[in-house]
Structure 1
Amino acid sequence: MKKLVNDPRRVVRDMLEGLVDLNPGLALLEAEDVVLRAELPVPAQRPVAVLSGGGAGHEPAHAGYVGPGMLAGAIAGDVFTSPSTDAVLAAIRAAAGPRGALLVVKNYTGDRLNFGLAAALATAEGIPTRVVVVADDAALHATVDRAQRRGIAGTVLVHKVAGAAAEAGLDLDAVLAEAEAAAAAVVSMGVALGACTVPAAGQPGFELGAEEMELGLGIHGEQGVRRAPMAPADAIVATILETLVADAGLAAGDQVAMLVNGLGGTPPMELSVVARAALAGLRARSIVVARGWAGNFMTALEMPGCSISLMRLDAARLARLDAPASAPAWPGGGVLAPRALVATPAAPPAEHAAPGPLAATLHRVAMEVAAALEAEEAALTALDSHAGDGDLGLSLARGAAAIRALPQAAFATPASALEAMAGALRRAIAGSSGPFYATALLGAAQVLEGREANRAGWAAAFRAAVAAIGELGGAKPGDRTMLDALHPAAEAFATAQGPGPAAWQAAVAAAERGAAATAGMRPRLGRAAYLGDRAMGQPDAGASAVLVWMRAIARSLG
């Protein structure tokens, strides 16, 4: 796997230097991978120093939570490896004063040993230091005793509670008590859709099939408690919530904070989908979600997946979560309210003219076009994926469904049919196809309004439609766009001899030649232009789509 690193042996230091360079409120110890608040008070005036850390690879944890209201410092080990005792001890000496230090430790053997020994050494030196261990991984409820569970993303909420208690001026024992209570009140569970790659290893930690997922994993690239078939997001969240609610003993009326945490490779889109399902599942149980967040809080490098953490709240713990904090990675806020929905303004009601002599033909042709676009969805998607974003097939299939949904009365006259289809496509198709087709149809409708729908009228309407597309998008023939099929087709239709169906066949033939020529054109507009010569070799998807509906019209006209 490719990674943007220099030397895997220096990746942690390089990362911390970049973080500190970008955040003036942070400082870096010269001889250890320790991040501190840049402007700590003199030792005698320092509150209890809340410190945390562990192996790197969990960014933004742990250094991202260093700042007023949260951590006084964070210690980083190599990727997924506990920092040394001496590094932890150096952090205690640098950050703590006479009031002492509290170390928030995730429940992994290396972290417990190194942080625990450093706490003992610091205490012996005269800096009273205590340790709180977070073991929030509820996925292990049937595997190990509660005290042996892993510490995962719920640790971030413990950071916030302990940091706020220290910032409020509480002594070490009181800060420890609040941190222990917070650690006991939080449960978490994760799911992975794939593995991550440790820079020094250079290969994924495990392999998953295309339709598999790992349930109940930690944050070190390891496999989960069990492998399961891939499922929709709502079903995955339901499985996680069932475990969390049962393990925490939550009941109707209980109040919680919810943290939806990305593992590094999951986009915000998917985390919001998970958050939506989690909120719905909790509210269905009458559990009050007083605060909620979604984002990357404690990752596992680039692992795709997420975890959900729930912390039981009382008034005091809620106040600690709400207390001000200015650490770089803490989002703040989290106050929730019922989903706000605003009624969509309705369009003015359509006025349909009396059906004209072409009404039945117009409706039949439109339905033939819709069927053709639906049948060619996959082929258009494949073509668009070559040089675009792969959405053309789906977009035009949506447009086809919108055309099918139009009332038959919309096809009373040529102008009304074109105008109705313009509105339907504008509403149904996002991206560029919707506006292009809508403006073309509107341009054609304006030409035909109040005009006899003879051969000359249709030819003028076709030319107007093509001109409208060029004016809207700025394209011209030769730019490798839909105009390379449409422009020659419109000219052929206007100049061809014989009856209308024969003239349309001539237009189809011209469009076919134009679309085929785009395979050898260098794109000048749209996403394909970003690829330059790499987009060549296959015809333009937009021009190919023109052939689909033009051929459908030809078939319908016989």
Structure 2
Amino acid sequence: MKKLINHPLEVVRDMLEGAVALAPGQALLADEAVVVQAGLPGPPQRAVAVISGGGSGHEPAHAGYVGDGMLTAAVAGDVFTSPSSDAVLAAIRATAGPAGAVLVVKNYTGDRLNFGLAAEMARAEGIPVEIVVVADDVALRDTVEESRRRGIAGTVLVHKVAGAAAASGAGLADVAGLARAAAGDIGSMGVALGSCTLPAVGRPSFSLEADEIELGLGIHGEPGVERTGMAGSAALVERLLTAIVADRSVSPGARVALLVNGLGATPPMELAIVARDALRGLEQRSIAVERAWCGTFLSALDMPGFSLSLMRLDDRRLQLLDARTDAPAWPGGGKLNPAPIVAVAPERDTSPRSADDGPSAPASPIRTAVMAAAQALIGAEAALTELDAKAGDGDLGASLARGAAAAMALPATAWTSPSTALVSLGHALRRAIAGSSGPFYATALLRAARQLSDVPDPAPGDWAAAFTSAVAAISDLGGAKPGDRTMIDALDPAAAAFRSAIAAGQAPGDAWRLAVAAAGAGRDATAGMQPRLGRASYLGARAVGIPDAGAAAVACWMEALGPHIR
């Protein structure tokens, strides 16, 4: 286990001290794991306090939601363990005045017992207290009665509703009533792609095969209600939405808020895809999403997965969601983009034209040569991927294979003249190849096309000049020079060899063979070079001994062109 902690028994206090140090609107009680709003007025002037909490490991819940307009205090237990009643009582004493306190409690036995006991003790001291229990996990709909369901990520929406109501000056009964109604109108369900690891345990709480997931998980590392096969985002989202909508009887035309919640180890990229699929699924059901948030709101340590929460809306509840808060973990906003997709301006056709342009353009020797190079790159995909992974990000093989496929898909009209072919090929590669290779190859081809734009039937010397110009374009764009351990180390000597051989009167095929040999020698030489550009430069001396993948790709397609150059 690798965890950035000091000691398992000190995790919660260390975490809270770090978090509060970065939140000027918060304070941490000296002797309890309780975060409170800083600068509260004296008890007689205080609004209704809204207090929540539970076991740690759910960050940014619950301390991240302490702030004006949301929670007045958050009580943290040990990881996945309810806080003590003494800690809850300390939070009530520190933040509640005559207006009283509302305790928002997730529906777990330990939380209900300790928050409930603290409420009784506070009432005995004359502090009015109401308890609101959140039991939003619809995954348990066929397992337990509704009152015994777990409280999961939808609890954060209850924090917002209750906190905004209290900040508006509402009394204890009104704040509690609004919070209970919100909790009753929330349905949530989650899916785990893997387990989480408790700091004090040091191993995952359960194990899954590579193609397995857990549906309907809790938030404490426990398995879900069903173990099933992995599926794509859209399929998983559809299954969760179906369960939530049916359980909460959300009918077409209903107004809802959507919370897409990561469980701790789900990257923003994947959560955004989940959000997209959830919005589409609700739109297909004619359910109006008036507010939506996507991120990690209530996690399960480092668990990969997500949950969805839907809450019914009316005008009052929407007003409370929109109300201002300075709680550091609440993202604000929530409004949807009414026009997220706009049309792309049509691309200007800058391809040179020839008199033969048209559907019946004849087959081109240039096309035949390029097809051979494309097939070679497709065949070398695995080898280039393996080589690139050793000193880069491992995407070169797939990127060049996509570019090769794009070249092979060009229409006959793309090959009607040398300059037309180079322009068409350049644009195809820039669209198809991700990362740096696409711009490099496209720039080279476009510059070579300009070199030949007024030469309908290029002589060998014209091709040599175009090749040299293309290599210079790559060097100009990326700044690479021979010796920097890049594709230039294969291209530059190859262009020089071809140019010299043509100038000496050698046949194009013979000159190209010399160029191919020079490219291969340049590729091999990169293995002994210290990288100075590109991702390999981050490895420094660790990349030495590995040929540059870009140079290897150059040698590959150059060799494939050889039989077609005469």
TM-score band, normalised by shorter chain: over 0.9
Indicate the residue corresponding to 1:520 in structure 2.
Answer: 528
CA contact (8 A) 2:259 2:309 kept: yes
Indicate the residue corresponding to 1:554 in structure 2.
Answer: 562
Indicate the residue corresponding to 1:268 in structure 2.
Answer: 268
Matching of residue 12 in structure 1 with residue 20 in structure 2:
no
User: Any unmatched runs of 5+ in structure 1?
Assistant: none
Instruction: For 1:455, give the aligned amino acid.
Output: P
Q: 1:443 is paired with a residue of what secondary structure?
A: helix
* Distance in 2 between residues matched to 1:400 and 1:339, nearest whole Å: 35
Instruction: For 1:262, give the aligned amino acid.
Output: G
The C-alpha deviation readout for 1:494-541, integer Å capped at 9, x for no partner, is 233632122212211211111112122211111110011222222111
CA contact (8 A) 2:50 2:104 kept: yes
* Distance in 2 between residues matched to 1:303 and 1:31, nearest whole Å: 30
Alpha-carbon distance change, 182 to 282 in structure 1, aligned in 2, over 3 angstroms: same
Matching of residue 405 in structure 1 with residue 409 in structure 2:
yes
CA contact (8 A) 2:352 2:453 kept: no
Alpha-carbon distance change, 474 to 465 in structure 1, aligned in 2, over 3 angstroms: same
Task: Give the Å deviation of 1:177.
Answer: 1.2
Indicate the residue corresponding to 1:504 in structure 2.
Answer: 512
* Distance in 2 between residues matched to 1:555 and 1:167, nearest whole Å: 79
* Map 1:352-371 → 2, pairs under 5 A: 352-355=353-356, 360-371=364-375
Q: 1:253 is paired with a residue of what secondary structure?
A: coil
Indicate the residue corresponding to 1:488 in structure 2.
Answer: 493
CA contact (8 A) 2:257 2:311 kept: yes
CA contact (8 A) 1:352 1:409 kept: no
* Distance in 2 between residues matched to 1:229 and 1:444, nearest whole Å: 51
Instruction: For 2:35, give the aligned amino acid.
Output: V
Greater Cα shift, 17-26 or 400-409: 400-409
Picking from 395, 415, 421, the partner of 2:419 is: 415
Q: 1:220 is paired with a residue of what secondary structure?
A: coil
Indicate the residue corresponding to 2:178 in structure 1.
Answer: 178
CA contact (8 A) 1:382 1:390 kept: yes
Greater Cα shift, 21-30 or 170-179: 170-179
* Distance in 2 between residues matched to 1:430 and 1:147, nearest whole Å: 52
Indicate the residue corresponding to 2:392 in structure 1.
Answer: 388
Q: 2:256 is paired with a residue of what secondary structure?
A: strand
Task: Give the Å deviation of 1:544.
Answer: 0.9
Q: 1:76 is paired with a residue of what secondary structure?
A: strand
What is the identity percentage for the equivalent residue pairs of Structure 1 and Structure 2? Answer: 63
Task: Give the Å deviation of 1:91.
Answer: 0.4
* Distance in 2 between residues matched to 1:309 and 1:537, nearest whole Å: 52
Instruction: For 1:140, give the aligned amino acid.
Output: L
Task: Give the Å deviation of 1:450.
Answer: 2.1
* Distance in 2 between residues matched to 1:473 and 1:438, nearest whole Å: 13
Alpha-carbon distance change, 337 to 479 in structure 1, aligned in 2, over 3 angstroms: closer
The C-alpha deviation readout for 1:12-63, integer Å capped at 9, x for no partner, is 1111111111110011101111101001111001111000001111010000
Q: TM-score, normalized by length of structure 2?
A: 0.96
* Distance in 2 between residues matched to 1:4 and 1:526, nearest whole Å: 30
Greater Cα shift, 194-203 or 415-424: 415-424
Indicate the residue corresponding to 2:538 in structure 1.
Answer: 530
Q: TM-score, normalized by length of structure 1?
A: 0.97
* Distance in 1 between residues matched to 2:430 and 2:403, nearest whole Å: 8
* Distance in 2 between residues matched to 1:99 and 1:150, nearest whole Å: 29
Task: Give the Å deviation of 1:7.
Answer: 1.2
Task: Give the Å deviation of 1:131.
Answer: 1.1
Matching of residue 164 in structure 1 with residue 181 in structure 2:
no
Q: 1:2 is paired with a residue of what secondary structure?
A: coil
* Distance in 1 between residues matched to 2:331 and 2:276, nearest whole Å: 18
Instruction: For 1:393, give the aligned amino acid.
Output: G
Greater Cα shift, 446-455 or 328-337: 446-455
CA contact (8 A) 2:362 2:412 kept: no
Greater Cα shift, 395-404 or 349-358: 349-358
* Distance in 2 between residues matched to 1:96 and 1:518, nearest whole Å: 70
Task: Give the Å deviation of 1:448.
Answer: 2.2
* Distance in 2 between residues matched to 1:449 and 1:99, nearest whole Å: 82
Instruction: For 1:472, give the aligned amino acid.
Output: L
* Distance in 1 between residues matched to 2:271 and 2:339, nearest whole Å: 17
Indicate the residue corresponding to 1:223 in structure 2.
Answer: 223
Q: 2:458 is paired with a residue of what secondary structure?
A: coil
Instruction: For 2:403, give the aligned amino acid.
Output: G
Greater Cα shift, 374-383 or 210-219: 374-383
Task: Give the Å deviation of 1:355.
Answer: 4.3
* Map 1:86-105 → 2, pairs under 5 A: 86-105=86-105
Instruction: For 1:354, give the aligned amino acid.
Output: A
Indicate the residue corresponding to 2:242 in structure 1.
Answer: 242
Q: 2:316 is paired with a residue of what secondary structure?
A: helix
* Distance in 2 between residues matched to 1:169 and 1:346, nearest whole Å: 55
Indicate the residue corresponding to 2:482 in structure 1.
Answer: 477
Instruction: For 2:557, give the aligned amino acid.
Output: W
Task: Give the Å deviation of 1:456.
Answer: 1.4
Task: Give the Å deviation of 1:359.
Answer: 6.2
Q: 1:10 is paired with a residue of what secondary structure?
A: helix
CA contact (8 A) 1:358 1:414 kept: no
Instruction: For 1:207, give the aligned amino acid.
Output: S
CA contact (8 A) 2:414 2:424 kept: yes
Indicate the residue corresponding to 1:62 in structure 2.
Answer: 62
The C-alpha deviation readout for 1:454-479, integer Å capped at 9, x for no partner, is 22111111111112211221111111
* Distance in 2 between residues matched to 1:278 and 1:549, nearest whole Å: 44
**RMSD after superposition:** 1.6
* Distance in 2 between residues matched to 1:348 and 1:151, nearest whole Å: 56
Instruction: For 2:527, give the aligned amino acid.
Output: A
* Distance in 1 between residues matched to 2:38 and 2:439, nearest whole Å: 53
* Distance in 1 between residues matched to 2:542 and 2:238, nearest whole Å: 45
Alpha-carbon distance change, 351 to 455 in structure 1, aligned in 2, over 3 angstroms: closer
Q: 1:35 is paired with a residue of what secondary structure?
A: strand
Task: Give the Å deviation of 1:428.
Answer: 2.5
CA contact (8 A) 1:352 1:410 kept: no
Task: Give the Å deviation of 1:549.
Answer: 1.3
Indicate the residue corresponding to 2:442 in structure 1.
Answer: 438
CA contact (8 A) 1:255 1:312 kept: yes
* Distance in 2 between residues matched to 1:147 and 1:243, nearest whole Å: 17
Instruction: For 1:491, give the aligned amino acid.
Output: A
Instruction: For 1:281, give the aligned amino acid.
Output: G
* Distance in 1 between residues matched to 2:26 and 2:138, nearest whole Å: 33
Q: 1:236 is paired with a residue of what secondary structure?
A: helix
CA contact (8 A) 1:359 1:413 kept: no
Task: Give the Å deviation of 1:280.
Answer: 0.7
CA contact (8 A) 1:355 1:411 kept: no
User: Any unmatched runs of 5+ in structure 2?
Assistant: none
